[in-house]
Amino acid sequence: MDYDVNSIAKLAHINLSSERNMMLNQDFGNILDYVNTLTSLDLESQTIPTYYIQSLREDIAFDNNPIFSDNIKENIIKEMPLVEDGYLVVKSVLKK
């Protein structure tokens, strides 16, 4: 099996230090060897199960959801790393 720890880290949006790169290179082989025991199973006759494709709930909007307290908006904003005029600040998405 091919894997490149650096490109997986890129997909997962995580910077990897060289120590962690080494650790993962070592662990990944062991873990994948282990989970690869599944390859010994003959699944030709097995249909792909469909029960786990759960029906989606209806999207119902709650006005005044009683579960949330009145000041939930303020409390959520309080948790944001950087706020300006009640808006969440992010880095620009498009380069100038």
Q: Which residues bind other proteins (CB under 8 A)?
A: 3, 5, 8-9, 11-17, 20, 23-24, 27-28, 30-31, 34-39, 41, 43, 46, 48-49, 51-52, 54, 56-57, 60, 67-69, 72, 75-76, 78-82, 88-93, 95
Cα–Cα distance for residue pair 29/14, rounded to 1 Å:
20
- Cα 58 to Cα 15, 50, 52, 54, 55: the distances in Å are 38, 20, 17, 12, 9
Residue 49: CB minimum distance to other proteins, A: 4
Residue 47: CB minimum distance to other proteins, A: 8
